[in-house]
Amino acid sequence: VQERWFARLYFVKPAIFTVLPFFWIMTGVISLTTGWRRGVDLLVGTAIGPLAEPAVIAGALADMAVGALIAWRPTSRLGLFGAIAVALFYAIAGTMLRPELWNEPLGPFLKILPIIVLHFVALAVLEER
């Protein structure tokens, strides 16, 4: 069984470690560029409204740092754990600040769940045999 698992995941592993850093880094880049206004607007009407702009900047920088850590092999494990922590933080904080986003048609909060699972998969296949 373990040989079959290894064989099946062998070609998926490079995709995982390409897509995850790309996802995190691009999320940060988008938050600081084309998505800036949308990110700030999501926070303005909440309890942290006055801190909306710094919060978007902090989130973007955290996302890019997580992506860079995952991309660099010696820090991949730290980056994956960081990604899980950041994703959980976003889910919890987002639920407290904007619970209606759980009911959005594109599921921005629901997508956090499979993303977290993919990070656990990445942790499982991180080490070579």
Q: How far apart are CA 107 and CA 38, in angstroms?
A: 16
pLDDT in tens, 35-84: 999 999 999 999 999 999 999 999 999 999 999 999 999 999 999 999 99
Buried b (16+ CB within 10 A) or exposed e, 35-62: beeebbebbeeeeeeeebeebbbebbeb
Count of Cβ atoms closer than 10 Å to residue 122 Cβ: 22
Q: Tell me the three state secondary structure of residue 15.
A: helix
Query: Rounded mean pLDDT of 91-120?
Result: 96
The reported pLDDT for the residue numbered 13 is 94
Q: Locate the domains of the chain by residue range.
A: 2-125
